[in-house]
Structures are given as C-alpha cells and as structure tokens.
Chains A and B, each alone.
Chain A
Amino acid sequence: MAERLRSPAGQAQLELIAGLPLLGLAALIALQLLAVGYAQSLADGAAEAGAIAAADGRDAAAAARAGLPGWAERRVEVDVDGGRVAIELQPPALLPGLGGHLGVGSEAWARPESG
C-alpha cells in the first residue's frame, strides 16, 4: 500500500479526491448564480403581469402570483400600491448560510384602472 501511495498514479488519485470538494463548490456556486438569475427573471415577469392586471382593473397581486411557479408561492412577497407592483422573491439557497441574503426584487408600474 505504501508503495502504491508513493507511485505517481497514487498521487493523482489523492489529488483527485482532494479536489472533488473544490469541484463541488464551484458547481454549487454556478448553480446558485443560476437560481438567483432565474428568480430575477421570474420576479420581473410577475411584476409585469401584476401591473398589466392593475391596468385592466383586475387583481394585481393575484395576477402576479399566478405568474410564479409553485415553489415560489411561499417565497414571494407582493406589494401592490395603485399601479405599482413590487415583487420580492427568495430563490432557494444551495449554500448554507446564504438563506435570506439572496432575495431579488422587481418593480413595475402601469396606469391603474382609476387613473
């Protein structure tokens, strides 16, 4: 065994094993970035849907929520003020300790029904 660890092939295996966490971390960071970006685009779309509903005299908050997938239901805050619809969305945190720091927001305005 000692012979094997000293051999170049053993060295490569050791480095591979030692490097796996690094690879995992890099992949997690990349996935986290994607999740945040996706949440941002969802928030943008939801805010627009809400504002358009407000312009047409429908329920803006309901329209904004309808534009989000199921997982976002408990992670979103919708604030409607006249024709202004503000969305706060918390994307899933893949890295520990990040929860609550990743929130993305989007705001849209359209002229509401009453002018």
Chain B
Amino acid sequence: MEGAPRLLICAPTGEGRGLAAAAAAVAVAATPVDGQQSRTLLLDLRADARAPRGTVFAGAGARELEERCRASEALRGVARGRLCFAVPEPAAGLEAAEALGEALHGSLGVDLVVAVCDRAGFRTLLAAGIDHRPAVLVKATRGDDRPLIALLAAELREAGAPFKVWVPPIGAIGGRRALGGLEPGGESGRRAERLASVLVPGRAGSREPHRQPGRLRAERAQALPAILGIAILIVAVGLILAAIGGAATAKGRLQRGADLAAISAARSMRDDFSRLFVPAILPNGAPNPAHLSHTQYLDRARAVAVVAAERNDLGPELIDVDFPDSGSFAPLRVRVGIEAQIGLDGDTGAAAGAEASAVAKAEVTLAAGSGSGGAPKVASGGGYSGPLAYRQGKPMRPDVAAAFDRMAAAAQGAGVTLVINSAFRSDAEQQRLWNANPDPRWVAPPGTSLHRCGTELDLGTSSAYGWLAANASRFGFVQRYSWEAWHYGYTAGPAPCSAAGDRVAGAEADGGSGGGPGLPGFVPSRFRAPLLAAAARHDVSAALLAAQLMAESNFNPNAISPAGAQGIAQFMPATAAAYGLRDPFDPVAAIDAQGRLMGELLEQFGSVELALAAYNAGPGAVSACDCVPPYPETQAYVARILALLDGAGDLLGGPPALEVRLIA
C-alpha cells in the first residue's frame, strides 16, 4: 500500500452504458476488505459527472478519503461502501487532468485511483497518468466497433499497459451494488475479480477467494484426481466384493462338506441296512460276518461321514455326527453339523477367523414311485401268503423262481427263450379273469386256480412248448393239464397252497437259525404261535406281521410310544376300541387285532407298502394321495419293514428300492 498510488483508467466505447458501474465493480474487487485500511478513490472525470450521495455503510478507508477530499477543496468525495466516489469540485474549476493529478499527488494518500472518463477525455488522462503506469479498462457494449478496440489494445500492449475490455452488461442489481461500493455478486462479480487481478495485480489477489458453494469447480483442473479416485474406488469395491465372495465360498464349502458327509453316511446306512436283519449267528454257531449290530451300523455310518468330511477338505475334528432316530432299531436318518472358523483367505480351519457353521440332514427313504406302483413283496389274497419273488415282472414263490432261473438258463443254452405270461394270481385277479370269461373250461373259478398258490407258471412262447415238454421235468416242473401246453406247475418243493409252501422262504432265509416255521429269526419264541394263528385267520403274511411288531415295539408287550400308542402292536386307544381290543397290552389279543387290521388294509389298498403306510399314518392319509404319505416317520416305517421282510427272505427281488437324499 505504500509508495505511489496505482491508477486504473476506465473509458467507454460507443455510448459507454454501464461504464461507472463496471469501474466501481473492478474498484471494489481491487479493494481488500481485510486487514489494513485501503483507500480507493473512484474519480469520475466525465463532463456531466455529479457527486452521488453518501451511504450509511462505508469502509474506514473510504470515510478517511471523504474527509481528506473535503480538506483538499479540489475534489468532492463521498464514501459509499468500500469506495470513495469523487468528482472535481466545481468551485475549484479544475481540468480533468488537473483533478487527476490532485488525486494522485495531493494530500489524499490514496492507494488506488480508478478514473472514469468519457471518450473525449481518455487520451488526455492517459497522458497525464502515464508516470503511474496506468491500466486501462474499456467498457464496451455488443455491436461496438471491434477493430477500434483491437487497435487500442495493440497500442496499449506496446506501451506495456495492462488492458481489458468488459463487454457484457453488468445488470441492474449488480450495477447498483457496485455503485454503492459493494461487490456486485454473480457473474459480474466474478468478472470484476478476474479483471481486477489482471489490471491491478497484487490488490485483488490479497483478498479471500470468492466462494461458490454448491458448484463443482470444474475449471480448477481436478479431473485427474477424480478419475484416480474413481478407479481406486472401483478396485476397492472389487476387493471388498472378492472378500465377501471368498467368505461366501468358504461358507458354501462348509455347507457342502456337511451335505456330502451326511449323504455319505446315509449311503453307508442304506448299504448296511439289510445287514442289520441278517442273523447274528450262523447255523454252525459261528458269528455271522454279514451281521451288523445297531452300534456297528451307526459307527460305520459315522466313520463314512468323517471320511467324507476329510476328503472334502474339512478336518475330522470339526464334524459332529448324530442320528435323530438312533433310538429306533434301524435308524435311517443322520445329521451332520460342522463348526469352523473361516479365514479371510477363504480357507476353513479351526484357526482364527469368523465363526461359521453348517448343518445337513440326510435320510434313507423309499424311492419315489415305489409306493402305490410298487409290486407287493408279500403275497396276499390267494392260497399263498409268503414272500414273492419276481421274474419278468411276475410274482411267484421264491423256490419256484429259483427253479425257473435254472430252467430258463438251460433253455437259453438250447436256443429257446422262455416267457412268463402269468404266475401268482390273487383270488381278486382270478375273479376279474372269471368275470371277463366265466367259462370253467378256460378260466378256473376264483379260489380254485392253482395260480393262487404261487407255484404255477404260464410259459411261452408256443415255440418253446416242445422244449418244455421234453425238459421241464428236469427242473421240477410238470405240465398240469394236457390241454394247456403253457401251464407248468412246480412240484419239487412243498405242495401248492400248503403251510409248508408259505414257510419256504422263511426257512431258507433263516438258514435254520431257529426262527420257526414261516417266521424270521428275530421273533421271540412265545410270539410265534400267536403270529402264525393271526396270519392264518386273517390271511396275512406272518413274516409281515412279525416285521411290524419288530418295528412297532421290538416285541415289547408293554411299550408305550410318546404319541400314546400302546402295547406290542402299538394300537392307539381309539383304534384298539374299534377293533374290539380291550387290552392293547395283551400281546395275543393285540397280534390278532393287528392281523385283522392289516388284512383289511391289504384288501383296501392292494399293496403291502400302502397297507403299512395306512397302518402307520392312517388310511385317510394314504387314500388321499394313493401313495406312501411324505411323512418322514411313515416313510421310514415302511422302509424298515420292507427291509425286515428282505432279511426274512432275500429271495425277494433285491433290497427294497431305497434312496438317499438330503432333507435339510
């Protein structure tokens, strides 16, 4: 602020509208508000200039200049805002150049003189102020003579004088504010600041930068940092997603390990299942290597689960195996829980990291479609009530099936293929045949056909008749009737429809372990007679009833289930009353009622699976879907009994159709 005052000359082109406002705006911009007082004199040297009135608010510097103007008597000054507006004192009669000289060199002590002139006075003022290295601001309006301005610019540039042109209108409000010595604001304010920083450098620059809240300062060349920031953000988000994904993968692997361990254990149970029902002792008194105890069965399943966990990269110490139905005689469900720490690198282990756990349940269940569509495994409704073996889809007594296998193999060797057209037929099926063709020459009346005994086969094709006639007897088959070249009966085993025939499978499967006639080895001796009696009275397989008792109560006459089922056959009190069973804990009466109920259910549903399901879940649930209802308990019940029947006679067509599946 010390030293010679700076000079800015403001001149118009054209009519010079807005000149004073533009000059005032630049003068304001070049007048710092902070710190030391700054004295800017806006000297209006135009011919028609008149002093404005003072304002209430004026800076200290402006007030000081106003005082000094009064003292000088050469100028008339008025403080307005940050500026002191001055005109030559008419009484002094000064020329414009003299007035300027007074302002610059007099006793005013100004820092900056902004001299406003008209076109006529411009050259004179420029010459008068040339010692002060004047800067020049030209207020032009659109449509002014641009070549003229260009000429002036070139001339001033040569003289080394800063030169700027203000073209746009300053606006009514901005102009009024500027003429009041205040920042005009808005675009004009910014323009005034820019011009001031060029024309009067070192003045405007000391001021606080003009703030523009809410507006991105794009002109400040900040694209590169922004782009780098966005790129880093993308990579960071990617890394976070990768970390989340890694944790999800690790959690998924944990669940997968639990699933696979559970399904593997179920597989083991499904493979070992029938070995639970193999007699523990061989006929020669040695332990049966094929037999598995309940504990061995579960231990093997548990071991397989651990192996599966290990082979799927989970430590055996992380896995917890239990069997929800381990209380039953043949558990079919397994639950595997895994708890581990998941590290950020996605590895699983017991080391530090986030705690995670997974649980999987698997079960052995009846294969879909083996319910209503499945063929009965035990004959009923005919003269034979033992287990059935199937050859070419046709049911027959197991010893007949074995003999047929030998005969068919021999026939194959001779180039003859045997086809079974019919085998065991229940009385109901015979009735249907009879109804269709009630002629005793062709169809035996119901109850009289030997087909109800499971020993008779209707064989084909006609090209095989010759071979059969010559060779069937070698395998125990005889042609029953001379007029039926296809009908062969098996005579090497027990007589058709005899009690011995019913026992044939049981005797073979038991291997002489003392199970008794027609009954598997697990039946306690005191229940054999009641079972056989009930089976005979209600025409139900004794092996089936025995398997049920095993599954229901393990032959405990005093058993009570959590659901309230009572006694050896686990009758609910209401069912017991319906079947005239006064004391469900009386085993003989209970077994008879069970035989009666099963006989009715077999007749109603025509399939052992459905009858068993109805026994367990109630006939309503079964007839509603004509299937084994999808209750885990019922499914497991049916599967267990079918497996028990398998154990009772593995001449049946293989193990029951069981599958393993995840249930949770």
Residues of A within 8 A of B (CB): 7-9, 11-16, 18-20, 22-23, 25-27, 29-30, 33-34, 37, 40-41, 44-45, 47-48, 51-52, 55-57, 83-84, 107-113, 115
Say yes or no: A19-B227 contact (C-beta < 8 A), given A110-B260, A113-B267, A115-B271: yes
- Report Cα–Cα, A14/B223, bound state, in Å: 8
Residue of A nearest to B661 (CB): A56
Rounded to whole Å, the gap between the CB of B530 and the closest CB of chain A is: 39
Of the residues A44, A52, A109, contact of B311 by C-beta under 8 Å: A109
Which of B62-70, B169-177, B233-241, B454-462 participates in binding chain A?
B233-241
Known: A37-B242, A108-B260. A30 touches B235 (CB 8 A): yes
B245 and A41 contact, CB distance less than 8 A: yes
Asked whether B150 is an interface residue with its Cβ less than 8 Å from the other chain, the reply is no
Main SS of chain A's interface residues? helix
Point out the residue from B231, B238, B268, B271 that lies within 8 Å of A23, measured CB to CB.
B231
* A7–chain B nearest beta-carbon distance, Å: 7
Smallest distance from the beta carbon of A102 to chain B beta carbons, Å?
Answer: 14
Q: A30-B237, A55-B267 are in contact. Are A19 and B245 (CB under 8 A)?
A: no
Give chain B nearest CB distance to A34 CB in angstroms.
Answer: 7
Task: Point out the residues of chain B lying under 8 angstroms from A57, CB to CB.
Answer: 659
The residue in B234, B252, B307 that gathers the most chain A C-beta atoms within 10 A of its C-beta is B234
Most buried by A among B219, B220, B227: B227
> For residue A31, which residue of chain B has the nearest CB?
B238
Q: How far is the CA of A12 from the CA of B304 in the complex (A)?
A: 66
9 sample A-B contacts, Cβ–Cβ < 8 Å, listed by A number: A12-B220, A19-B231, A22-B231, A26-B235, A110-B260, A110-B263, A111-B264, A111-B268, A112-B267
- Flag whether B662 is at the interface (Cβ < 8 A): yes
The distance in angstroms between the C-alpha atoms of A93 and B248, with both chains bound, is 23
Q: Does B159 contact A (CB under 8 A)?
A: no
The 5 closest A-B pairs by CB, nearest first: A19-B227, A30-B238, A15-B223, A111-B264, A109-B311
Q: Which residues of A contact B227 (CB under 8 A)?
A: 15-16, 19-20, 22-23
Are A19 and B263 neighbours in the complex by a CB distance under 8 Å?
Answer: no
B230 close to chain A: CB less than 8 A: yes
Q: Indicate whether A108 sits within 8 Å of B249 (C-beta atoms), given known contacts A26-B231, A33-B238.
A: no
Q: Which residues of B contact A30 (CB under 8 A)?
A: 234-235, 237-238, 241
Nearest Cβ on chain B to A29's Cβ, whole angstroms: 7
Is B207 an interface residue, CB under 8 A from the partner?
Answer: no
Whether the pair B256, A44 counts as a contact (CB closer than 8 A) is: yes
* Contact in complex: A41, B267 (CB < 8 Å): no
A84→B313 CA distance, assembly (Å): 13
Complex: A29 Cα to B231 Cα, angstroms: 11
A-contacting residues, B95-136, CB 8 Å: none
Asked if A44 contacts B252 (CB within 8 A), the reply is yes
B308 part of interface (Cβ distance < 8 Å): yes
CA distance A20 to B223 in the complex (A): 11
Q: Collect the chain B residues with CB atoms within 8 Å of residue A23's CB.
A: 227, 230-231, 234
A52 x B260 contact (CB < 8 A): yes
- Residues of A near B661 (CB, < 8 A) are 56
CB of A19 within 8 A of CB of B228, answer yes
Please give me the residue from chain B that is nearest to A20 by CB atom.
B227
Chain A residues near B234 (CB-CB < 8 A):
23, 26-27, 30
Chain B 639-664 interface residues, beta-carbon cutoff 8 Å to A: 659-662
B259 lies within 8 A of chain A by Cβ: yes
Chain A residues positioned under 8 Å from B237 (CB to CB): 30
A48-B235 contact given A40-B249, A41-B248, CB 8 Å threshold: no
Contact B223 A111 (CB under 8 A): no
> Which of B228, B242, B245, B256 is close to A108, meaning CB atoms less than 8 Å apart?
B256
Complex alpha-carbon distance, A15 and B219, angstroms: 12
Which of A13, A33, A41, A110 contacts B223, CB < 8 Å? A13
**Residues of B contacting A44 with CB < 8 Å?**
249, 252-253, 256
**A110 → chain B, closest Cβ, in Å?**
5
Residues of A within 8 A of B56 (CB): none
Of B221, B228, B661, most buried by chain A (CB within 10 Å of CB) is: B221
- Please, which residues of chain B bring their CB within 8 A of the CB of A48? 256, 259-260
A45 to B413, CA, bound (A): 50
Among the interface residues B218, B267, B307, which one has the most CB atoms of the partner chain A within 10 A? B267
- Which one of B249, B252, B660 lies within 8 Å of A55 (CB-CB)? B660
A12-B237 Cα distance, complex, nearest whole Å? 25
Instruction: Known contacts A19-B227, A23-B231, A30-B234; decide if A111 and B267 are in contact (CB<8 Å).
Output: yes
Residues of B near A34 (CB, < 8 A) are 238, 241, 245
User: In the assembled complex, which residues on chain B have CB atoms less than 8 Å from the CB atom of A83?
Assistant: 264
Asked if residues A55 and B263 are in contact (CB atoms below 8 Å), the reply is yes
Q: Measured between alpha carbons, how far is A47 from B255 in the docked complex, in Å? A: 13
Q: A37-B245, A44-B252 are in contact. Are A109 and B223 (CB under 8 A)?
A: no
Interface residues of B in 243-277 (CB under 8 A from A): 245-246, 248-249, 252-253, 256, 259-260, 263-268, 271
